[in-house]
Chains A and B, each alone.
Chain A
Amino acid sequence: MIETLLTPLHYQYMVKAILVSGLIGAVCAFLSCFVTLKGWSLMGDALSHAVVPGVAIAYMAGLPFALGAFLTGLLAAVGMGFVKKKTRLREDAVIGVVFTSFFALGLLLISLYPSGIDLRTIIFGNILGIADPDIWQIVIISAVTLTVLGLKWRDLLLFCFDPNQARALGLNVTALHFTLLTLLAATAVAALQTVGACLVVAMLVTPGATAYLLTDRFGKMLAIAVSMGTGTSLVGAYASYFFDGSTGGCIVVLQTVLFLLALVFAPQHGMLAARAKRLAA
């Protein structure tokens, strides 16, 4: 029994996959607190799709995939800002149009020039087959993101909560906006490898949303989200060995289960608590 449970750990590729997933899970979860509070979930989804053409171009040109992905991600973000400013369209429409165009362009490029990359890898992720240079790219992105968040989370929190106050104090709100956007794009790139473009948004929203149901303090919210993101990613990657299924699927299903539990049983903001309050009133 124990022997069976330990089998995945005998394979180096599994150990790498588990550790890299845990790292990405932690970074995504940290960021997810800001994403949920700022109302940027759709933006996270958009960026994770908008990086696809960048990955395709980078592979064709023989550049690090993170570089290309990051550039098209930012290009999409700037494009959305531009279209929103110049038209009367609502933000969700702008985001919807821009990110699907980028994603479509990516698909087109990949099918036109079927070079080294597999479409499935991008859309569904392939952490089990990850190459060492890609691991390094992920580690560097994660380290930079965690450092910036660790140093500046209080400023970013103020920016999310009350941008006017941030401005009144003389903080550079535009810089904070782009910092958060850049981190989001970078993290979406890193997560692409683990769970794929379709599920990145889950990693960038679910832990934060779950933690938000469980606490009224930002510090605790961070702690809960990061533990949950890391834990589910480690366990999900490990479990995917037995199910022979997609790693991304395992991780996101685990996160969803925790989210549903919190939704029902959260002590203050859960559905049962709300019902108890209604009955008591």
Chain B
Amino acid sequence: MSDAPVQLDVHDVTVTYPNGNTALQDASFRLDGGTICALVGINGSGKSTLFKAIMGFVRPSKGSVQISHGTVAAAQKRNLIAYVPQSEEVDWTFPVSVWDVVMMGRYGYLNFLRIPRAEDRRIVEESLARVGMLDFRDRQIGELSGGQKKRVFLARALAQRGRIILLDEPFTGVDVQTESTIIELLRQLRTEGHLMLVSTHNLGSVPEFCDQVVLVNRTVLACGPTLEVFTEQNLTKAFGGVLRHFRFDESTVQKHDGRTVTVLSDDERPLVFGKGGHLEFSQRQGREEIVKQRAEEPDDE
């Protein structure tokens, strides 16, 4: 049952908070299993609100969220949706160990008294091993680094066996190495048919690991494959004037630099657009088709 393909269908969702603030209006998109989809938008654009609507924490005043052709409540009962919270949402001084937290992913499968069976312990152990945190199983959760904390909650989502995993800002406060570990794990999960929706404002990392993008600003502005949606025009629409630019044609970069220009940044990956605003990837490997196709376009110099 848990290996059946999943589908997430957000249809015309409008969310109005009790204070009358409409955070999302007529938001629609559809995703199938086997994808890592980025949810991109400025602060306050409604990313978390969209998550809350998908998780069933807020009830849309209009429209509906359907998961594998059923309601959100039905999906919860089947443990289909797992959630990796933002670090700020967690009380890190709480007296629970890494093991306890990951076991909380199993509660939906446990009996009335929530006493774990051998099978549940095996799954928790396996999930911890998968994120490389098994050695930390007895640590209190506050005694971990930012990246380790993230991995523990990812392990909880794995232990829950959720087919849809929502990650709210997973790379905030995480070191580069953990970021790579998490990305690698998400890719594995994609091949296993999971559906991952990752909210982020780290634009540069999106082309690296997300195959689809949903752009939001109080509604869904665009959605679809990264290459089509992640264009300069669309991002300008989503972010307005808040993005910083470095335009090579206006810069001191000249012809003699050729293509040996190096772009450095401290923690966030840079996002680079080519002629006419199409997306550029940092690695040619695996993108041979795009490279070939663009090579055939006429040069303008």
A contacts, CB < 8 Å to B: 37, 85, 151, 154-155, 157-158, 160-162, 164-171, 212, 215-218, 221
Contact = CB atoms under 8 A, between A and B. Distances in A.
7 contacts: A37-B95, A158-B107, A165-B83, A165-B104, A167-B56, A170-B76, A170-B77
Given A217-B95, A218-B96, A162 B104 contact: yes
A164 B97 contact: no
Interface stretch (B85-93, B206-214, B274-282): B85-93
Interface of B: 18, 55-57, 73, 76-77, 79, 81-83, 85, 89-91, 94-97, 100, 104-105, 107-108, 112-114, 140, 156, 160
A218 B95 contact: yes
Given A151-B113, A162-B90, A164-B89, A169 B107 contact: yes
A161 B85 CA distance: 12
Contacts of A37: 94-95
Nearest to B76: A170
B38 to A, nearest CB: 21
Given A169-B160, A170-B76, A217-B95, A164 B107 contact: no
A218 to B, nearest CB: 5
A218 B82 CA distance: 24
A168 B83 contact: yes
A218 B85 contact: no
Given A155-B114, A167-B55, 19 more contacts: A37-B94, A151-B113, A154-B113, A155-B107, A161-B91, A161-B96, A162-B90, A162-B104, A165-B104, A167-B56, A167-B76, A168-B56, A168-B76, A168-B81, A170-B77, A216-B140, A217-B96, A217-B97, A218-B100
Nearest to B97: A217
Given A162-B85, A162-B90, A164-B55, A169 B95 contact: no
